[in-house]
Amino acid sequence: MAGRPLAFAVASGTVAAWLLTGPIFGFSDSWQLVINTGTTIVTFLMVFLIQNTQNRDTEAIQIKLDELIRVNEAATNSLLDLEELDERTLDSYRARYETLARQARQLEQIK
């Protein structure tokens, strides 16, 4: 919901209301502290919300990719849990696929 137009409108309305109350409170330090504190708290919470959303999105993409690998007979099923492997093993797979890509490009140039 935080990424919806309504959330933006509410945030904009809050800032507008804060600005309009400035003359009432004499643009005091306390008046400024209200918006600073509010935005700091919202920013702090949004970091965790965005990270959670990103993690869920990444997990869903991984599941979809795993399914595509699983149903493709030419694919290597050992790649299904690639994200769970240690860094050295991932580097090994990456190097192998970079070599395959380089070889494919060389074949294309020959044709």
Mark whether 43 and 58 lie in a shared domain: yes
Domain span at residue 88 reads 81-111
Calculate the alpha carbon distances from 91 to 86, 94, 99 in Å: 9, 5, 12
Q: Provide the percentage of residues in the chain whose pLDDT is more than 70.
A: 100
* Amino acid 89: pLDDT: 93
Condensed to tens digits (0 to 9), the pLDDT of residues 25-73 reads: 999 999 999 999 999 999 999 999 999 999 999 999 999 999 998 899 8
Whole-structure pTM value:
0.63
Mark whether 28 and 41 lie in a shared domain: yes
Tokens of 104: 């494919």
Q: What's the pLDDT band for 100 if we cut at 50, 70, 90?
A: very high
Mark whether 52 and 104 lie in a shared domain: no
Mark whether 51 and 73 lie in a shared domain: yes
